[in-house]
A and B are shown apart, each in its own frame.
Chain A
Amino acid sequence: MVNVMSILTNGLSNATPLILAALGEMLVERSGKVNLGVEGMMAVGAAAGSLAGVKWNSLAGSFLVGGLSGALLSLIYVVAVIGLNADQIVTGLILVFMGIGLSELIGIKTGGTPGTPLFPSLGPFDYLEVFSIVLAVFLWFLLYKTWTGVELRAIGEDELSALERGLRVKTLRVISIIVGGFLAGVAGTYLSDSFHYGRWYSGITGGMGWIAIGDVILGYWHPFGILISGYFTGLLFAMKPLLPTIGIPAELADALPYFLVLVALIIVTFIYKRLGISPPASVWKTIR
């Protein structure tokens, strides 16, 4: 029969990159911007992290380089959107393709190397799974228990009033975007380091970045909500291999997570609308 325990733990490791990237994007959206480039930043993180891991045979180096590469890509977003006032949606979309292309250019340099299983396991949990949960608690504390958090949320709710009150609109936004990029890069590195023995392959992100953006909505822009939605979507990916055993072709099973995330988005958006609760106001204005 099906090993329920292994699916539940697999769900957690599948959820980790989603949670990391979604927490980063949550910060960005809480500060009042939307960066749709998560997929691209993850792709670059996966390739650059894998390259660093292969070259130095170091896990920490791999994640550091992966994160920094994501942050570097998000810097382009900062320059274009904050600096030059370019359209944030367009810039985000372009960032996706830029990241996918760049990841290929970096990734081919890892080719031919025998991938080494870099990732040490802590029993059923690994470091980053623990880190992603700790990070969520930390972000919750930051957002709801500190003055900086209040400031950040105020910026996302009403930019003009925040400016009038002398809040650090630009500074906090830029920091959020770069942290978001770093986390997306780390999430990408996790994909190659944890799932594929430190190896990169073309198309490794496969929409994970977009699902992370979906998780931000599903988790209602809240760190703990994102833990739940991230774990839910991670579980969907973990359940994928089960479908062929009940007679659904493996190729169609690939669609399952995307399909169910779409259904979840529909339901959750409907509920938000019904209850009259809304996300950070300036985000809502830009996507609606």
Chain B
Amino acid sequence: MNRAQRNSLLSLISGILGLILIAYMTPAGLRGTFSTLGLVYSRIDLLETSLLYSGPIIASAIGLALAYRAGFITIGSEGQVLLGALTALWLTAYSGLHISRSLMLPLALLFSGLAGALLGLISGILRAYWDVNETLSSLMLNYIVLAFANYLIAGPWRTGPFTQTRSVPNLYAINKIDVLITVLFLAFIYEFLLRRTKLGLAIEALGKAPKAAYTYAIPVSSIIVYVSLLQGLTAGMGGALMIMSFQRNMTAMNQSPGYGYMGILVAWMALISPVGSLIAGYFFSTLIVAGYLLQSKGVPFNTVLLLQSVIVLTFIAYMASRRTKG
């Protein structure tokens, strides 16, 4: 066995051991955790529910895949999902707009997508023209959006005796088919964009060989700006998918919902490919459903994030060690 084989085997084994250890540490215990996971995979209704949860995650991951390919390491998807959700909530519950159900989803996607894109654009412009680190700027924006959301929820949008907003009306609620169609559509558009357009070629070049891209007169700054727009677009749309399917209303938040962050993990799990994000994103949302089921056994929801990150890290380490020389 050579070094690469040994290292990749070791990283797989330690990843699996890590997962077992985590399951053992949860209040549900080893058996409780794995039986819940088994339950999710054996029941068709839970598998269908997973589709709903996959909406915001896959949508974020699709845009992030594009951004990461260009070397634009944003983590703004979280704030963009939240802002997109706020936009869709405003459109469906507060704007007083009365249109048919079939028109509302595209309209909400458009508005939420634009909101997310504008948010992404801030980090993009800052990076492209002022060299401001996009990872940090997008993170700061996440917290600013969170504060803004909490302000709306506790202030102008508050309804009823509790700190919560109105709900998306039943008329405008979307189902798993709507979610599936939307993410499929987005994934294939973005895959096409990457593989078959000039912009896609420039993005690949920029990520793989920034210096060469610069030498061959690829307009680096404008590519970064386009990428930031396209990235925020899908994450914002993910926000609409979230609020119109399973979330429906908002309550005061201590931390962000986290679907945008999961999108980051999904994007890397999918080896930064838009179509790959469909599979990785669906897999991760089955874990979310398992996480919600486990909550009744006293397991904190963020354990899902832990399991997901161990899986991604194992995968990344496995891929990296296969490249080991010698």
Contact = CB atoms under 8 A, between A and B. Distances in A.
A126 interface: no
Contacts of A210: 136, 139-140
A221 to B, nearest CB: 13
Contacts of B324: 84-85
A270 B139 CA distance: 19
Given A104-B302, A105-B25, A255 B148 contact: yes
B320 interface: yes
Given A202-B302, A203-B254, A214 B136 contact: yes
A262 B141 contact: yes
Contacts of B321: 84-85
Nearest to B307: A101
B305 A105 contact: no
B131 interface: yes
A259 B130 contact: no
Interface string A187-207: 000000000000000110011
B150 A101 contact: no
B313 interface: yes
Contacts of A154: none
* Interface SS majority for chain B: helix
Could you tell me the dominant secondary structure of chain A's interface residues? helix
A10 B312 CA distance: 39
Interface size class of B (residues with CB under 8 A): 35 or more
Contacts of B27: 108
B137 A93 contact: no
Contacts of B13: none
Interface stretch (A64-72, A165-173, A246-254): A246-254
B285 interface: no
A288 B147 contact: no
A124 to B, nearest CB: 29
A270 B130 contact: yes
A253 B147 CA distance: 8
Interface stretch (B39-47, B85-93, B233-241, B261-269): B261-269
A97 interface: yes
Chain A interface residue bracket vs B: 35 or more
A105 B303 contact: yes
Given A98-B313, A105-B306, A202 B133 contact: no
A60 interface: no
A25 to B, nearest CB: 12
A36 B268 contact: no
Nearest to A106: B25
Interface string A216-251: 010000000000000000000000000000000101
16 contacts: A80-B320, A84-B324, A85-B324, A89-B73, A93-B268, A94-B313, A98-B306, A104-B300, A105-B22, A206-B143, A251-B150, A255-B144, A255-B146, A258-B140, A262-B141, A269-B131
Interface of A: 36, 76, 79-80, 83-87, 89-91, 93-95, 97-98, 100-105, 107-108, 202-203, 206-207, 210, 213-214, 217, 249, 251-255, 258-259, 261-262, 265-266, 269-270, 273, 287-288
Given A101-B307, A210-B136, A270-B130, 6 more contacts: A36-B135, A80-B316, A100-B302, A203-B254, A214-B136, A258-B143
